[in-house]
Amino acid sequence: MKKTLFRLSLPALACAAAIFTGSALGAFFAGTPAEAREHAPAACRDDAPDVFAHARERLEKILETEPLSQLKMTMAAAEIFRLAEAEIDWLECDVENAPAFDEAEYARERDAWRARFDAALNAPSDFDGGTMEHADRALRAAELLRERASALRARLEKTR
């Protein structure tokens, strides 16, 4: 009978790897512990889209100014995209719950934007097949999401 030190299933190993990776990324991008504590509860407040935007802008600055490995550049680009998506989700929720919400007009605008977004995502990358392809696609998508966030913020301002 073969003895083993650990008996972990594949899902348990995947979960442990995800936790470790998330902790490592959080520590890498969070800055100081005080900054991490300052921003942690903000996701529950009304200014969450601003917090997502601030974190995205900070990562963009790191990506532009710091010498990073290809892996870290790709991770940063993916995180920038994720933060931009979260910002959009919060802003869309705010728009949909605004007092002067016109569902038909908004649906047309949203569907047109999504079609343009999907077309841009499916467009060939300048780095097709290369190591920069994933980062390029994530950053192009984040740029489109930034434009969408600006449009949603302008729409919200009209309702206030």
What are the per-10-residue average pLDDT scores of the chain (160 residues)?
42 45 49 44 60 88 89 90 91 87 90 92 86 88 92 86
SS (H, E, C) the chain: CCCCCCCCCHHHHHHHHHHHHHHHHHHHHHCCHHHHHHHHHHHHCCCHHHHHHHHHHHHHHHHHHCCCCHHHHHHHHHHHHHHHHHHHHHHHHHHHCCCCCCHHHHHHHHHHHHHHHHHHHHCCCCCCCCCCHHHHHHHHHHHHHHHHHHHHHHHHHHHC
Q: What is the pLDDT of residue 4?
A: 39
Residue 9's pLDDT is: 46
Burial environment of residue 140 by CB neighbours within 10 A (0 to 12, 13 to 18, 19 or more): middle
> pTM for the whole thing?
0.65
* Structure confidence at residue 11 (pLDDT): 47
**Residue 26: per-residue pLDDT:** 52
Three-class SS of 47-61: CHHHHHHHHHHHHHH
**Number of other CB atoms surrounding residue 114 within 10 Å:** 11
